Amino acid sequence: MSVREALLVLADGSVFEGEAIGAPAAVATGEVVFNTVLSGYQEVITDPSYAGQIITFTYPHIGNYGVTPIDDEASRTHCRGVIVRDSARRYSNHRASGGLDDMLSAAGVAGIASIDTRRLTRVLRDTGAMPGAFGTASESELLAAARAEKGTDGIDLVASVTTPSAYRVGSGPRRVVAFDFGIKATILRCLGEIATVDVVPASTSAAEVMAMKPDGVFLSNGPGDPAAVGYAVETIRDLVGQVPLFGICLGHQLLGRALGGSTFKLPFGHHGGNHPVRHEASGHIEITSQNHNFCVDPASLAGKVEVTHLNLNDMTNEGMRVLGAPAFSVQYHPEAGPGPHDSRYLFAQFDDLMTSGRF
């Protein structure tokens, strides 16, 4: 295989030399972030929450066990690109139906390998997530493209990933309406064990949801800035107190804003599979999977929520329950299995809430 030389250029002028992988691209742009997972690269790449972003994998060897369509988290890939240190030339796994390069090429996603990802991660850690561009174009072209990239702040990325029409999954005894803000397939599998799930577009109104007579409503993960999804905030505000609610990731942030709270952008986000989160009521530590750039400010919700989970890396809000209403949410991904399955109990908690209507 011939090597296609490529460059990665960040908006601050940092330049990294590498080689092109995946779909051919003279220029690919997006907000560059880093993810610390050791495995699960396919699930990360196909997570709709990465819309608008270029994913840097800090683990040096990516692609060694191949890919299989069974592990896709969405029907198509929404990230802008992939950055790795060492892209495996061969894969070995009895489940695999192809390699990482095959997957990227088929999805039309460009990538760049042989990058000094340790240096890149230090830059992003010290300066924060920033726009970047990579490809086979010249350094000057890539720098201009990086500086023209708008990033994810203030942009409604949910509209680009949500389902265009409603559909049904699962066969559990409950009836749940799940808002698709960029919902992952694994979340639907977990919900489908306890409920028959009607997945609806992000723009669905509260009246339309309540007309379906659900036992509960789920607010999904998704990409981008929660402040840019005002229509969802208004809908959730109308649903609070009317029906049990459970939110994950962006759903957590949208619930916070619906209650009158504020959100802010983290310097480089939380992206990885080993974030320690403390369950405040029990003191137990959960090792969690995370993928978000924004956070709910608990001080802005004083007297309205109880913070239930805390991130031990930076002490940010990782979970809350609404006081006086059957609603709760977490910032991390309980459906994911980064090794342990510490947080799957939250789906049972949602089931219990739909039974009793109270905590």
Give the active site residues. 249, 333, 335
**Cβ–Cβ under 8 Å, residues 183 and 198:** no
What is d(CA 69, CA 97) in angstroms, rounded to the nearest whole number? 8
Residues 6+ apart with CB under 8 A from 33: 50, 53, 54, 55, 56, 124, 129, 268, 269, 271, 293
R_g of the chain, CA atoms, integer Å: 20
**Cβ–Cβ under 8 Å, residues 104 and 81:** no
b/e for 195-212, b at 16 or more Cβ within 10 A? bbbbbbbbebebeebeee
**Cβ–Cβ under 8 Å, residues 202 and 159:** yes
According to DSSP, the residues that pair with 292 across neighbouring strands are: 270
**Cβ–Cβ under 8 Å, residues 186 and 255:** no
What is d(CA 256, CA 247) in angstroms, rounded to the nearest whole number? 10
- The one-letter amino acid code at 272 reads G
What is d(CA 118, CA 174) in angstroms, rounded to the nearest whole number? 47
